Structure 1
Amino acid sequence: MCRIYGFFNAKATPHELRAVAALQHHGGPDGRGTARAGGWGIGNNRLAIVDLDGGAQPYELDDRIKVVFNGEIYNHVRLRAELTAKGYRFDDHCDGNVLPALYHAYGDAFVDHLDGMYAIAVIDLRGAEPRLLLATDHIGMKPLYYRWEPGARSLHFSSELPALLGFGEVAPAEWEAGLDAYLATKTPFGEQTMFDGVRVLPPSTTMICTEYAGLRTYRREPPVAEVLPEDDAAVAGDLRERLRHEVGQLLVADVPVATITSGGLDSSLVTALAAESETELHTFNIAYTGNWPADERRFARQVSDRAGTNYHQVEIDPATFPDLLSDVVWHLGQPNADPITLSTYALFNAVRDSGFKVALTGDAADEVFGGYSRMTAATRADAAGKPWYDNYLDALGVLPATERYALYTDDYRAALAESGPAIPADATGPLATGEGSVLARITEFELGHRLPAYHLRRVDHLSMSGSVEVRLPFCQRSVVSLGRALSDRRRIDDTGVKRTLYAAAAGLLPDAVLNRPKQPFTLPITAMLTPGWPLWDYARDLLAAPRLKAAGQVDVSAVDRLFTRQATEPGDTTALTIWALAVHEIWREQFFGTKRGR
């Protein structure tokens, strides 16, 4: 696991490269490497997980192919054996060292042979001009941000947004419509980031850049859809075995590996399967000092006791949240309105402090297997012949569209009239009128757009902020492939959500976990964001009238009404809106400074 960065057909001094590397040091504190020549440069920060003494990047082949990558290649042993049989030789056993030979053997199609999570950069010097190739994994586990200047035909890229801004030629500018996009989906979907002109490479995408041809990007073809047997029990059994296999191979590392157990189905199942082959497994749960709603620690403890793991209870004090939040927003690089970001950050720092560099989690099961209440509501509405689309989109955001627009100033509403939709049309078009059932279309939308933007980038950035690599069994190709092939009733039926996954977990988890109502893994901000608590005063200061007037986007009176409502009638939507606006203001101050209004 690493952080990568680079430039192409551009200029960057050695000092700039050191500055960019320093901004990502937390994600790769174990080593640093660069290669550069006229007009291009690539580099990495290394978090050593496999072959601790080897693995120096950039990887090279004949000094003409140079590669840096962020991620893990789980099938590297098999690939190395196949490439060795073809005549290639390797200096170490690090997973990434197969990449130059694999690219040499198969060209741009080399990524089709990979099983793993990755963002890869290849410099190919064999032709008449240098060639840069960037590639991302099939579902977006490893983000890659870039800035392309069409006039200069220059490109800069990095694993994290603050590091990208460390390049002198990448000046930060705020995307004017960003606040609305953020409130509509809790973080921008699609390729656009909150910075004007800075984009993120989509999942399963290859980008090729040369000085004369410019930039060419294409999405790689998805695998052929599976056909599942009619027997529900056979499908559940198949899923259980696929998960068992994937968890087993994701436990392989040359450093200690732990699991995260929230107390819900998904992470608990990962922990139970990991404990089958890992005799001294450690698992971590996070909770909050005091008595708060939705505390799941007792369920996590039951899972640990049944699986025989070493249980670690991480507990953080809500009084420290204002101090933590600034660091959270910085590491994310752009606003994410999910309050669980703060808990995620604290959790993975505790994991690393306990001596672990790798953790398996249950992330992405809800998207793959149909776990969200908004999915259930949409399918039931459609079955009843009622509208579902607008309500589903509203459920993705901080608050419904009509209430969102009521927050804005007249000037900002006018500016938004000139911009595109808050959610990219290429995402909402297939969602509204594409092929398949409503649930099938929602599943593809969630996997293709919400999961990478809202969920996987959060997990990646906030785990790597603590120098911890997160591995995601539910994102593995074999598991996603089965999930995508499920019929609607195998996802959601009258008895509940994630029916096939629950069936796969039967007998592996305590009944209290299998039979409990589903609840989101989140931070109870409705209870915490009330007068007398540190978060209240912190948010009040961040959303003071002078700040809002200077920015000119959010109406001061509308925000005052939010605070009044939350003080007298605390509610989830009101609390989340205040939280989201505060996070946005922290981000704006960090990257653009604070202008003082009158």
Structure 2
Amino acid sequence: MCRIFGYIGNDDVDPGRLKAVSDLQLAGGPDQQSVLAERNWAIGNNRLAIVGLDGGEQPYSLGESIRIVLNGEIYNHRELRNKLEAKGYTFRDHCDGSILPALYAEYGLDFVRYLDGMFAIAVIDLREKTTLTLATDPSGIKSLYYYWDERNETLYFSSELPSLLAFGRVPSSLWLPGVDFYLTTKVVFGERTLFDGVYALPPSSLLQARLGERPSLRRWKTLLASESLGDDPAAAASSLREQLDYEVRALLLADVPVSTINSGGLDSSLVTALASRRQAGIHSFNLSYVGDWPLDEKIYAREVSERYGTTHHEVLVDPRDFERLLPLVAERLGQPNADPITLSSYALFEAIHQAGFKVTISGDGADEMFAGYDRFLEAFEAADDWIKPYVNALGVASPELRNELYSDDYRAFIHDNGSIGDQIADSLRTAHHRKGRLDAILDFEREYRLPSYHLRRVDHLSMAHSVEVRVPYCQPRILDLAGKLPVDWRIGEGKVKRLLYRAAEGQLPESILNRKKQPFTLPIDAMMRKGLPLYEAVKRVLDGDTLRRHNLFNPAAVEKLLHKQATQPDGKTALTLWSLVIFQLWISQYNVHIGASKQYQFEG
């Protein structure tokens, strides 16, 4: 696990600037800093040593012509190394990334199709015309951002947005449609970011840039496929459990201790159970809050720990620390994410680091793979229009409330350009006609929402504390398997995630299998009450003069929300205020310029 960065083009970035770019993501790779710079290009790496601790120096190289940096893990590196050695290649160490130059030399751009893991990769190929290739894994687990400077014909890239901005050529300007995007979906997803002109590389993508040429983006498809589940549901559940066990076993391989996150729900509990059966002495981590709050799942996490004999860590966060944590979280995310779990995640990963762990395994992605959210069930069972309620369920506030919150000028901008909600609805409607209702939803979630809303959050907040998070439910074979499941194995009869629940039978306590799903989140409705620290912090950030100066939100409408939360608190109001705070902190921390912006189109 590492952080990577670099550029290719007509710019000549001096060593001091490259050092600043590297330093801004040092927490994600504190064990080694390296950079290789030549005329018109550079690639660099911050390493978090997980596999092959005595080797693994980056950039990896083959001869004088191929240079590669990696952020992530290649779980099938031993198998690939054996095959490459049989073809005559030699390797100086057993680090997983050291196979990449030979794999690239042997298969060209198809090299990514053989990789089983999570990764963002940068390849410099000097054999003909100098070329930079960027690649991402099938689920988009590892983030990679880039900016194309049209004037200088230079492409810059980095694992984190603050690091990318440190090149000095990337403008810190607001992508104006992103405000509506953010409040409609809780995050800007797809290729866009809230920085104008800055893009996120989508899952399963290759971005190629040759000197003097505009970059081109294309998608690739993995060669890894799941085993057939057959036609019998009972046998399919058993096969699914075996395939998940295979993935967890692969993710336990490391030269440092590996822990698990156990929120107390089905997904993380099953991961903890499978990991504990494969490896003795597993440490599991659960987060809760000082005081008596709703949505506390620690008793369920304790049950799993007791059943499997894990060394269990209950991480307690004091709500009085939220005001201190809020700007730290906003800074590490690089751009706003409205999920309050960001605060909890930041504190949890800090505790995992302090306990001495560099690696942890989580249950992220299971809901998107196996249809686990209530909004899926509601949309699936809706008799008439399902698209509008589904899109509304994604967001922070209803279309009516968003319209009220926007300033007159921003409301006019949305009127002239159209809302992102309408564009998403049109995309889902088209997909529904092609593949059916549930697959339209799940493909949308896996392609857009999962990488942007969940995986980037996990990536940035974990690496802020030098912790690598491995996600078995997002592995290529599980992604392939999930896409081939019959509808009634996923959802129906008022139940979600049906096959995964069946696969977990006999593995987990009945209390977990039979209880209603609840989100792993921060209970902000209860915590954001008048007189409590979080409410007072929110009120300070949402200063009327600042809102008027930015001219995006209506100060009177925001003040009305604050009054409502003070007198008649509810979850939707609290979430809306929280989202506005995260956005305002981001603007302040990155000194974001707010100006005119181009029209936009959701690529659905």
Q: Find the residue that maps to 1:189 and give its secondary structure.
A: coil
Unaligned ranges ≥5, structure 1: none
1: CA distance, partners of 2:191 / 2:505: 39
Structure 1 equivalent of residue 360 of structure 2: 359
Deviation at 1:53, TM superposition (A): 1.1
Equivalent residue, structure 2, for 1:567 = 566
Q: Deviation of residue 176 (structure 1)?
A: 1.3
Residue in 1 that maps onto 2:484: 485
User: Is contact 2:336–2:583 with CA below 8 Å preserved after alignment?
Assistant: yes
Could you tell me whether the CA contact under 8 Å between 1:369 and 1:483 is conserved in 2? yes
Distance 1:478 1:589 in 2: 42
- Equivalent-residue separation in structure 2 for 1:106 and 1:315 (angstroms): 49
Alignment of 1:447 onto 2:436:
no
Query: How far did 1:175 drift?
Result: 1.1
Q: Which residue of 2 aligns with 1:506?
A: 505
Letter in 1 for 2:378: A
Q: Structure 1 residue 150: deviation in Å?
A: 2.8
Matched, 1:317 2:314: no
Q: CA deviation at 1:213?
A: 3.5
Shift of 1:590: 0.2
In structure 1, the partner of 2:126 is 125
Partner of 1:411: 409
Q: How does 1:428-577 map to 2 (within 5 A)?
A: 428-434=425-431, 435-577=434-576
How many residues align? The count is 590
Structure 1 residues 219-251: Cα deviation after superposition (integer angstroms, max 9, x where no partner): 114668986422101111110000001000100
The answer to whether the 8 Å contact 2:172/2:592 transfers is: no
Q: CA deviation at 1:562?
A: 0.5
The secondary structure found in structure 1 opposite 2:313 is strand
CA distance change for structure 1 residues 61 and 594 in 2, over 3 Å: closer, same or farther? Answer: closer
Match of 1:391 in 2: 389
Q: TM-score, normalised by structure 1?
A: 0.97
Task: State how far apart, in whole Å, the 2-side matches of 1:501 and 1:5 are.
Answer: 38
CA contact (8 A) 1:102 1:110 kept: yes
Question: Matches of 1:428 and 1:4 in 2, distance apart?
Answer: 36
Query: In 2 relative to 1, CA 420–220 (structure 1 residues): closer, same or farther, beyond 3 Å?
Result: farther
Contact 1:190-1:424 at 8 Å conserved across structures: no
Q: Any idea what SS the aligned residue of 2:118 has?
A: strand
Alignment CA distance shift 1:429-1:139 (3 Å): farther
1:410 maps to amino acid: D
Aligned-residue CA RMSD (Å)? 1.5
2:148 counterpart SS class: strand
Distance (Å, rounded) in 2 between the aligned partners of 1:67 and 1:312: 38
The alpha-carbon deviation at position 11 of structure 1 amounts to 2.1
Q: Is the 8 A contact 1:284 1:351 kept in 2?
A: yes
CA–CA distance in structure 1, aligned partners of residues 145 and 546 of structure 2: 29
1:235 is aligned to 236
Distance 1:567 1:172 in 2: 35
How many angstroms does 1:481 deviate by?
Answer: 1.6
In 2, Cα distance between equivalents of 1:421 and 1:558: 20
CA distance in 2 between counterparts of 1:90 and 1:222 reads 24
Query: Which range is displaced more, 494-503 or 133-142?
Result: 494-503
Q: Which residue of 1 aligns with 2:191?
A: 191
Equivalent residues of 2:191, 2:202 under 8 A apart? yes
Q: Evaluate the alpha carbon distance shift between residue 372 and residue 244 of structure 1 in structure 2; reply closer, same or farther with a 3 A threshold.
A: same
Shift of 1:152: 2.7
The CA deviation at 1:565 is 1.1
With the length of structure 2 as denominator, give the TM-score of the two structures: 0.96
Distance 1:370 1:202, change over 3 A: same
Unaligned runs of 5+ in 2: 595-604
Q: Is the 8 A contact 2:302 2:312 kept in 1?
A: yes
Report the Cα offset of residue 422 of structure 1: 2.1
Q: Matched residues in 2 for 1:489 and 1:497: separation?
A: 10
Contact 1:530 1:567 in 2 (8 A): yes
After TM superposition, what 4+ stretches of structure 1 lie above 4 angstroms from structure 2?
222-228, 427-430
**1:286 maps to 2:284:** no
Task: Give the Å deviation of 1:521.
Answer: 0.7
| CA displacement 1:385-434 (0-9 Å, x = unmatched) | x1010110010010112221111111111122344642695x65442122
Verify: 1:166 aligned to 2:171, yes or no.
no
Report the residue type matching 1:182 in the other structure: Y
Q: Which position in structure 1 is the counterpart of 2:204?
A: 204
With 448-457 and 398-407 compared, the bigger mean Cα shift is at 398-407
Aligned twin of 1:149: 149
1:134-158 per-position Cα deviation (integer Å, ceiling 9, x unaligned):
0000010001000012343210000
**Is the 2:363–2:472 Cα contact (8 Å) retained in structure 1?**
yes
| 2:150 maps to amino acid | P
Q: Please state whether the residue corresponding to 2:553 is helix, strand or coil.
A: coil
Deviation at 1:492, TM superposition (A): 1.1
Is the deviation greater in 222-231 or in 407-416?
A: 222-231
Q: Could you tell me which residue of structure 2 aligns to residue 263 of structure 1?
A: 264
Provide the rounded CA distance (Å) in 2 between the counterparts of 1:178 and 1:406. Answer: 17
Q: What amino acid sits opposite 1:126 in the alignment?
A: R
Q: How does 1:174-185 map to 2 (within 5 A)?
A: 174-185=174-185
**For 1:29-44, what aligned pairs fall within 5 Å after superposition?**
29-44=30-45
**Could you tell me whether the CA contact under 8 Å between 2:372 and 2:496 is conserved in 1?**
yes
Q: Kindly indicate whether the alpha-carbon contact (under 8 Å) linking 2:173 and 2:592 is maintained by their aligned counterparts in 1.
A: no
